[in-house]
Amino acid sequence: MISNEKYCNESSGTVADVVLGVDTHLDVHLAVVLDHLGRRLSTFSVPTTKKGYESLLAWAEGFGSLRCAGVEGTSSYGALSSPGT
């Protein structure tokens, strides 16, 4: 996996967009960051706390511009990590 530095497009040297995916659970959320081709760059686990959510976003943004995020289970465990909560 690629380190937690800005993910660069080797041919142009520009920072690439990344996608965040989150699998929600009661006590922890497991996140994955994918590059523009769907390759897994890294995974990260955070507690389901305000500080955990903040660290998850900071971690994901460390790979590049966050294009979008998909959160599994937003009607239950992931409700607090969804927009508008």
User: In a structure prediction context, what are the per-residue pLDDT tens digits for the chain, which is 85 residues long?
Assistant: 444 555 444 544 556 899 999 999 889 999 999 998 999 999 999 999 999 999 999 999 999 999 999 988 766 655 555 555 5
Expressed in angstroms, the distance from the first to the final Cα of the chain is 32
Q: CA-CA distance, 62 to 46, in Å (whole number)? A: 15
Cα(71)–Cα(53) distance, integer angstroms: 12
Residue 84 lies in a domain: no
Structural domain for 54, as ranges: 17-74
Asked if residue 33 belongs to a domain, the reply is yes
CATH number at residue 56: 3.30.420.40
In a domain, residue 62? The reply is yes
pTM here is 0.71
What domain count does the chain have? 1
Beta strands in the chain, from DSSP E residues, in sequence order: 17-24, 28-34, 40-47, 65-71
